[in-house]
Structure 1
Amino acid sequence: MFPEYRDLISQLKTSDRHFLNVFDKHNDLDQKIKNLEAHIEHATHHEIEALKKEKLALKDELYGLLRKASATA
């Protein structure tokens, strides 16, 4: 995710608590969605779609935080 910001992501994960929380939540949702789609866990199609939308919103937030941090660096 966002290879052009790889170094900045590493930096923000150690220096920005909010960024780390959003990043971890995104990764947790990603794993949960993978488990649901692999039928390791059970959920309806609508539940999975809702999780995907939440994950996308977190990704958008991460991108905004990265752009802001990049602009001020």
Structure 2
Amino acid sequence: MDISEETFIINLGIHIKQLREKKGISQEDLANDCDIPRNQIGRIERAEINTGIRTLVKIANALDIEPKELFDFPLK
């Protein structure tokens, strides 16, 4: 399957938002737990930025999941 980087980043952002909401965590709380600005979480979820691995690991830790779970989503 061939998927564009943009499509992947969009799906990743949607998945992170879903995981965050499932845990009942606000963007602000997630940002505080990750020690990053709140607007950065919003920009990741809206696929406005291509975030780095370090930030993704922080997000996974804050959500109490394995980093690989961030990438476990259907490609649309």
Pairwise same-fold verdict (TM > 0.5): no
Question: Between Structure 1 and Structure 2, whose CA radius of gyration is higher?
Answer: 1
**By percentage of residues, which structure has more helix?**
1
TM-score by length of 2: 0.33
TM-score by length of 1: 0.34
